[in-house]
Amino acid sequence: MADLLASCNDEKVPRGKTIKGLDVGIGANCIYPIIGVSVYGWKFLGSDIEKVSIQSVQNIINSNEILKENIIVKQQENSSNIFVNIINKDEKYDFTLCNPPFHKSLDEALAGNKRKVQNLTKQKNTKSALNFGGKNNELWCEGGEIAFIKNMIKESLKFPKNCLWFTTLVSKKENLPFIYKSLKDIKAVEVKTIEMAHGQKISRIVAWTFLSKDEQKTWAKNWVS
C-alpha cells in the first residue's frame, strides 16, 4: 500500500493521519491497521461481519494508546455487502485492502488444509481440523474468492470518487483473467497487479482506480507529510 500511494506522490511514501485506509474484513487481530498506524502513522476504518471480531479489535484498540485515535471499527450488518453501509457518501479513503475468503465451502477449506499439512510434514494426514485461527467467513464464502472479489469490484463502482485505490489480495492466479474482465466491464481507469512472494507462497494484490493520472496527483496534494 505504501508503494502504491507513493506512485501518486512522486515516489514518496505519504505518512501521517491525513492518510486513511479501509480494511475490509479486519478480523480479530487487526494486524494490517496496526502495522499501518505503527509504521506510517496512518488512520483506519476496519469492517467485519463478525460481531466477535469487532469486539476483539475494539479490546485491542482500547488497550493501546497509539491505536485509540487512529483505528475505528464498524460491523457490516449485511453479509452480501462490502462497501455499502460502510463507506458514507461524504467520506474519502486513500485505499482499501482486503484478504478475501478463498474457498467455496467449508469442505473445500478442510481439504485444502489437509493438503497443506501433508506438503509441510510429508506425512499422510487424515485429520480434517483447520490450522487456521480465523472464523469461517474468513476462510470461505459461496462462490469462493472469485465471487467475493467480483462483488467487491461491482460495489466499488458505487464509490468511484470516494477512494483513490481499491485493492484486494488474490491468492489464486487462475482467477486473474476473470478479475481483469470485471474491471474492464466497470471501466476502471487504471489497474495494477503487485506480485508478492513469501517463501513458497506466491500471491498478488490487484489494485484499481476510477481516477485519471491528473486526478490522482490532485488527490495526493491533500496529503500532509
* Length of the chain measured in residues: 225
How many CA atoms lie within 13 Å of 7's alpha carbon, on the beta-carbon side?
A: 14
C-alpha cell at 20: 486513511
Each residue's pLDDT expressed in tens, for the chain with a length of 225 residues: 999 999 999 999 999 999 999 999 999 999 999 999 999 999 999 999 999 999 999 999 999 999 999 999 999 999 899 999 999 999 999 999 999 985 354 444 444 444 454 555 566 555 544 444 444 554 445 668 999 999 999 999 999 999 999 999 998 899 999 999 999 999 999 999 999 877 777 789 999 999 999 999 999 999 976
> Which residues make Cβ contacts (< 8 Å) with residue 20, sequence separation at least 6?
42, 43, 44, 45, 92, 93, 94
Q: What is the pTM of this model?
A: 0.84
